[in-house]
Amino acid sequence: MSPYVMANVNSARCEANMSGGWDEMVKIKEMPFAEKYAHAVEYTKLLETFVSPLVQEHLGDKVVIELRSGWEKVVERIPDSASDEMKYQIAYRNWIRKWESAFNLIQARLGEKGVEEFARADIDALKKENSGPALLLLKVIQALSPSFAFSLTAKQMAYQLQWFSPFTVPELTGKKAVLTIPSCKILDSPQGEVVCKVGCQSIYPIWLAEQFKVKMETDRKDKSCTVTLTPL
């Protein structure tokens, strides 16, 4: 496969520096399976870092043990000899299953208040995971050229989000980015519905708005979805 995913840009140019522009065809590097696998493992660990303390605080040690026992029942072992693609596929399924299992337990035991705390804990974990010097530099760029900063953020997201599901990028400018997902990989899983509704449609828009000043809107039709990003 080609090392790049070609993205048609509907607008005449996408800012690439303070005064210049990008070509109408934007090249977005294709993420290799080894990196997709690493992201699936990373996000699974991220889930564990905020869910276990949340359950511990509100429900105690016994339910933490119940949570972890439930996880052990739904995860698949990843063979060391497996290809990068197979490791990614298994790790991806494990992430979705553990996410749904944790969410369902918290919703059942703590109700709507628990769901709200789960969402806030996930958002805060994502913000912590994505903090650092690069974010400080982005804030400086936002102050100097908001459209350029948005272009940088959108292009980086178009790369990073590849581990979630295959998509195309029909538009990427300094004012708008559109990601078209013909068949969302998350929804291929029986556990994917709650991840879509709570994670993609609720948690992620809040996280992107708070940390990157980006508005995320989703327009889902069955398993297909259009994600639109615009600067706030």
Tell me the per-residue pLDDT of 100-109, one tens digit each, with 9 for 90 and over: 999 999 999 9
How many helices (H) and strands (E) in the chain?
Answer: 7, 6
26 pLDDT band (50/70/90 cuts)?
A: low
149 pLDDT band (50/70/90 cuts)?
A: confident
Q: Which residues contact 118 (CB under 8 A, 6 or more apart)?
A: 51, 54, 102, 103, 106, 107
Q: Check: CB of residue 163 under 8 Å from CB of residue 40.
A: yes
More confident residue, 79 or 23: 79
pLDDT at 17: 36
Mean pLDDT for 79-93 is 97
pLDDT at 162 over 50: yes
- Return d(Cα 207, Cα 43) in angstroms, integer: 15
pLDDT at 15 over 50: no
Q: What percent of the chain lies above the pLDDT cut of 70?
A: 86
More confident residue, 207 or 11: 207
Q: What phi and psi, each to the nearest 5 degrees, are found at residue 67? A: -60, -50
pLDDT at 132 over 70: yes
More confident residue, 163 or 8: 163
**Average pLDDT of every residue of the chain:** 86
43-47, 190-194, 201-205: which range is least confident on average?
190-194
> Where are the chain's structural domains?
1-30+130-232, 31-118
Mean pLDDT for 163-167 is 92
- Contacts of the segment 89-95: beta carbons below 8 A, 24+ positions apart: 91/37, 91/40, 91/41, 91/44, 92/36, 92/40, 92/163, 92/185, 93/189, 94/40, 94/44, 95/40, 95/43, 95/44, 95/47
Q: Check: CB of residue 226 under 8 Å from CB of residue 208.
A: no
pLDDT at 28: 78
pLDDT at 18: 31
pLDDT at 90 over 70: yes
pLDDT at 6: 38
140 pLDDT band (50/70/90 cuts)?
A: confident
Mean pLDDT for 107-119 is 95
pLDDT at 99: 95
pLDDT at 194 over 70: yes
pLDDT at 139 over 90: no
pLDDT at 147: 84
